[in-house]
């Protein structure tokens, strides 16, 4: 590989060209993992949003499927098929997504169902519910479904400029009838408030894990300047089944990734664990995408768990051991002759550099560490707790170098 090809992640989900953002509709159907994602096939910029689609049986090898959803000119999703999720409705895999007919204020929820048994093609209908009629409300979007007390509910992210983000909830045992049930949680909650202001809580996930309930949302802020997608917040607590509808009661809160590139994750259960993928963004002001013809990737699959202190943590999916192709060693100067590799072991001091850029560093007490590098993507997991995702571009020149790292093993990675 030469030039900008060095930047392209080969082991992470992304098409060869075009724009990719939020993972959507992740799920397991008949032994096949399905991951959909926001996709502009025509250019490496956000616009004309479709749903791309990949499948896997082992979380290592991914097959690209035909585009699942595309904007319908003049229709309810004419501007774009934005984020959503998958559920099984009366035995039928079903996609729910935010359909945007014209901007602003035209977002609503649309249902799509498969037209073939392999889920390679989908047919979308009309709106199940419209967007918000409240002029003070900026956004209501990104539906996700959960069950409580034998009933099915949907949650959507919501908020307004200058206001507090929140999650709105609806009863939807019948997907043709969505009944508002108020606010699941908002930014005035004292535990949520410890995470700082957020004008919109977007891309929510709500799920049971290790005997607790977990709420994830992505932080959208503009109160202090230009709109920006900031971080991913988590809250762990209890979900109360009240007469007015489900209400979330958080006890712990934090941020999911310490880097600046991880955003808008989606979570699924495969029956034994909760798996998560997130969008790995190019950094603000990136100049690589236009020349390369592509932008964005999805993270490697991560397993979520709650630690002994009650905090939400992530670790690499167990299957990722299968990417290892053999042990390698850096040269005398620390240079690594591989475009995809993993650092694994327990160490007190390690630095990862790309040319003159320090990409990751740990100094202090010995920690268990796994660092995955794939093209321009770097994902680090420290002691199975802290995660750190970032981007660094080999096309800018220089080699990957490992300094320190006594007690670690270096593996070349591949999926062939």
The answer to whether the beta carbons of residues 381 and 370 sit under 8 Å apart is yes
CATH superfamily, domain 20-316, is Glycosyl hydrolase domain; family 43 (2.115.10.20)
pLDDT value at residue 1? 46
Residue 136's pLDDT is 58
Task: Say whether 324-413 and 20-316 share the same fold.
Answer: no
Residue 329 corresponds to which tokens in the numbers above? 């060693």
Lowest average pLDDT, out of 159-163, 292-296, 322-326, 381-385, goes to 159-163
pLDDT at position 131 is: 74
Query: What single-letter DSSP state applies at residue 281?
Result: P
Q: What is the pLDDT of residues 5-16, one digit of tens each?
A: 899 999 999 999
How many other CB atoms sit within 10 Å of the CB of residue 234? 23
| 3-state secondary structure (DSSP) of residue 318 | helix
At 234, the pLDDT band (50, 70, 90 cuts) reads very high
pLDDT in tens, 58-99: 999 999 999 999 999 999 999 999 999 999 999 999 999 999
- Give the per-residue pLDDT at 3: 54
Cβ-contact 361, 391 below 8 angstroms: no
Grouping H, G, I as helix, E, B as strand and the rest as coil, residue 288 is helix
Grade residue 223 by pLDDT with cuts at 50, 70 and 90: low
Q: DSSP secondary structure string, 102-116?
A: SSSS-EEEEEEEESS
Mean pLDDT of the chain: 94
Whether residue 135 is predicted with pLDDT greater than 60 in this model: the reply is: no
d(CA 289, CA 293) in angstroms, rounded, equals 6
Query: Around Cβ 398, how many Cβ atoms within 10 Å?
Result: 14
Question: What percent of the chain clears pLDDT 70, i.e. is strictly above it?
Answer: 95
* Separation CA 141–CA 164 (nearest Å): 15
**pTM of the shown model:** 0.96
Architecture of domain 324-413: Sandwich (2.60)
CA distance 20 to 94: 22
CA dist., res. 32 & res. 287, Å (int): 36
Does an H or E element contain 130, and which?
Answer: none
Gyration radius from the chain CA atoms: 21
Instruction: Read off the DSSP letter of residue 66.
Output: -
Domain residue spans of the chain? 20-316, 324-413
Q: Average pLDDT of 28-46?
A: 97
Question: How far is Cα of residue 322 from the mean position of the Cα atoms in its chain?
Answer: 22
Give pLDDT, residue 227.
57
pLDDT digits (tens, 9 = 90+) for 362-407: 999 999 999 999 999 999 999 988 899 999 999 999 999 999 999 9
Partners of 397 in beta bridges: none
- Over pLDDT 90: what percentage of the chain? 87
Whether 56 shows a pLDDT value over 50: the answer reads yes
β strands within 193-301, DSSP E: 200-209, 212-221, 228-242, 245-255, 262-269, 274-280, 294-295, 297-298
Whether pLDDT at 104 is above 90: no
Q: Name the residue with higher pLDDT: 107 or 239.
A: 239
């Amino acid at each position: 590989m030469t030039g900008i090809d060095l930047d392209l992640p080969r082991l992470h989900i992304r098409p060869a060209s075009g724009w990719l953002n939020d993972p959507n509709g992740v799920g397991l159907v008949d032994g096949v993992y399905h991951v959909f994602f926001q996709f502009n096939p025509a250019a490496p910029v956000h616009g004309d949003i479709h749903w791309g689609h990949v499948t896997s049986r082992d979380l290592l090898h991914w097959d690209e499927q035909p585009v699942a959803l595309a904007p319908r000119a003049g229709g309810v999703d004419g501007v774009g098929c934005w984020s959503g999720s998958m559920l099984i409705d009366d035995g039928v895999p079903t996609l729910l997504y935010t359909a945007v007919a014209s901007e602003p204020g035209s977002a609503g929820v649309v249902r799509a169902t498969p037209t073939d048994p392999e889920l390679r093609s989908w047919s979308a209908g009309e709106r199940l519910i419209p967007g918000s009629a409240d002029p003070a409300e900026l956004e209501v979007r990104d539906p996700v479904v959960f069950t409580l007390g034998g009933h099915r509910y949907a949650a959507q992210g919501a908020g307004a400029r200058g206001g507090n983000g929140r999650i709105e909830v609806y009863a939807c045992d019948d997907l043709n009838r969505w009944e508002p049930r108020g606010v699941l949680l908002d930014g005035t909650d004292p535990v949520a408030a410890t995470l700082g202001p957020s004008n919109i809580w977007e891309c929510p996930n709500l799920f049971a894990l290790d005997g607790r309930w977990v709420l994830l949302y992505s932080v959208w802020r503009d109160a202090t300047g230009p709109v920006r997608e900031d971080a991913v917040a988590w809250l762990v607590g209890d979900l109360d089944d009240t007469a007015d509808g489900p209400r979330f009661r958080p006890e712990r809160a934090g941020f999911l990734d310490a880097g600046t590139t991880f955003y808008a994750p989606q979570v699924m259960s495969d029956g034994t664990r909760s798996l998560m993928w997130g969008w790995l963004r190019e950094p603000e002001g990136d100049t690589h995408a236009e020349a390369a013809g592509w932008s964005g990737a999805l993270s490697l699959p991560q397993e979520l768990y709650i630690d002994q202190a009650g905090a939400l943590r992530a670790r690499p999916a167990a299957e990722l051991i299968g990417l290892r192709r053999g042990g390698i060693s850096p040269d005398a100067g620390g240079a690594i002759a591989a475009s995809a590799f993993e650092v694994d072991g327990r160490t007190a001091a390690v630095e990862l550099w790309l040319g003159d850029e320090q990409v990751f560093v740990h100094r202090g007490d010995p920690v268990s560490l796994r660092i995955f590098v794939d093209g321009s993507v770097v994902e680090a997991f420290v002691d199975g707790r802290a995660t750190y995702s970032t981007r660094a571009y080999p096309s800018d020149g220089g080699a990957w170098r490992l300094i320190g790292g006594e007690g670690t093993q270096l593996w070349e990675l591949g999926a062939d």
